[in-house]
Structure 1
Amino acid sequence: MIQNARKVLPVIHLLDGKTAYEQATLAFGLGADGVFLISHGNQDQLVMQLAAAWKRRHPAWNVGWNLLGMSAPDSLFFAQRAGIDMVWADMPGVSSTGASGIGSSVAKALLQPNAPRFFGSVAFKYQAHEPDPAGAAVQALNHRMLPTTSGSGTGHAPDVEKARAMAAAVARGPLDGELAVASGMTPENVPVFLPFFTHYLVATGVSRDAHHFDEARLKQFIEKVHGYNPAD
């Protein structure tokens, strides 16, 4: 199974700048490995401004964004200019059949020095049905993306056999078995998935509402993920 360290990357759903910063500070204070900022209210410009400001104020913070109204190549371009560490895209232009023009553009951009880590969603909620999740994960790896999957919808965990198949496929890849999950993870179910995923983009399962983490649940989640030992 995957041997590299597990990372927790809480996803902050933007309400306003003050609340988002408070949630980021909370997450890092509890030991999170990074945070993603996202807006479901068409506020990509504010997401960009806030994330860039956080990096200037806290250079050691690992900060990422998902810009829902922007193409993956453009999101990556602006992230590199702003010094953002991570980009996550719901439509990265890659599937089990290969890469579209968007996917090829992303792969080319990822060759640039100091390019952000790119989390490419494959076999992902609200995309077209993916008949071969494992093949999609391999294609993402081959295009320099960290494959990121989900369950069937927000708050739904992926099928365990899907997770197992994708983990087995990427274990033979160039990034030492890295595989991310971005839905349905909770302190209660995460132990089942720890053998398969290395990166956990988590929100609903550790939150008290759409914009505020539940401190106790997030702390418990981080402790369980960081405490995982593949040898156990």
Structure 2
Amino acid sequence: MKRQDFRKLFKCVGPAVLPVIHVTDNEQAVRNVRVLVEEGAPGCFLINHDFGVERFLPIIAHVRAMFPALWMGVNFLAVTGKDAFPVLGQLKRDGVAVDGYWADDARIDERRAADDQVEARDIAAALATSGWSGLYTGGTCFKKQREVAPEHYEYSARLATGFMDAVCTSGVATGKAVDRAKITTFRRAIGDQALTLASGITPDNAHLYMADVDGFMVATGINRDGDFYNIEPAKLARLLKLTREHGAKS
């Protein structure tokens, strides 16, 4: 997906701010979605950080029922698209619309040739047969996955463009800002394809990444201090304001 198409999808002139909600139950998920809707975020991702997929699915359905027009993506923690896409296809058949899937690991393998990306191709096949057709952003050189040496970032990122709508990367851990050089390398590698970033973004450092990143998936940087589960409206509002101002100047 081209950068301009990604931003058009979210009706954003700057990077799309997509809050990530670490869900605990229906009430907490809905409460946080209300915050991001009220502040004008263009969408969100829900993630099952503390429990399995089966417990997560009814929460997804509940949030969708409460917010039928919301752009809503999900992340099934530690699950690749090979297993996730059939679930998303079934949700679609059950009338539960999920607009995007973010995988922590897209299974891009920089040790293999471009025509030998076995696991990434299996994921692509699962998507093709699932019946689901949302946006796919997949972790590449991503936190807590198999470590990739910096000299292989460029090749990994370039490979990833063939398997997903938006390439996704991160810093070394949740809440840790990514090295600016890594983002520069990714942007050089993928040209005008969409790039998302999924760790360490805050209202204080977002300006460092806005020229190269098209989507910020953010939790820690907009949550209440010391609270892993709940958005602080003022922090979210500040980040949204900064991205809009950047877009207006671009």
One-letter identity of the residue aligned with 1:90:
D
Percent identical pairs in the alignment equals 27
Shift of 1:231: 5.2
One-letter identity of the residue aligned with 2:88:
A
Shift of 1:52: 2.3
Matched, 1:195 2:211: yes
For residue 126 of structure 1, what is the aligned residue in structure 2? 144
Match of 1:163 among 160, 164, 183: 183
Change (3 A) 1:105 1:41: same
- The 8 Å contact of residues 134 and 169 in structure 1, kept in 2 or not, is answered as yes
For residue 24 of structure 1, what is the aligned residue in structure 2? 33
Matched, 1:61 2:78: no
Match of 1:15 among 24, 27, 42: 24
Secondary structure of the structure 1 residue equivalent to 2:138: strand
For residue 56 of structure 2, what is the aligned residue in structure 1? 47
Shift of 1:194: 0.2
Matches within 5 A, 1:105-116: 105-111=122-128, 115-116=133-134
Shift of 1:95: 3.3
- The 8 Å contact of residues 8 and 201 in structure 1, kept in 2 or not, is answered as yes
For residue 91 of structure 1, what is the aligned residue in structure 2? 105
- The 8 Å contact of residues 167 and 179 in structure 1, kept in 2 or not, is answered as yes
In terms of fraction of residues, the more strand-rich structure is 1
- The 8 Å contact of residues 80 and 116 in structure 1, kept in 2 or not, is answered as no
Q: Distance in 2 between matches of 1:43 and 1:114?
A: 21
For residue 222 of structure 1, what is the aligned residue in structure 2? 240
Shift of 1:100: 4.6
- The 8 Å contact of residues 51 and 63 in structure 1, kept in 2 or not, is answered as no
Calculate the TM-score normalised by the size of structure 2: 0.83
- The 8 Å contact of residues 103 and 138 in structure 2, kept in 1 or not, is answered as yes
Q: Distance in 1 between matches of 2:170 and 2:47?
A: 16
Cα deviations by residue, 1:119-151 (Å, 9 ceiling, x for unpaired): 100111112221322222221111134211111
CA-based RMSD = 2.1
Matched, 1:72 2:88: no
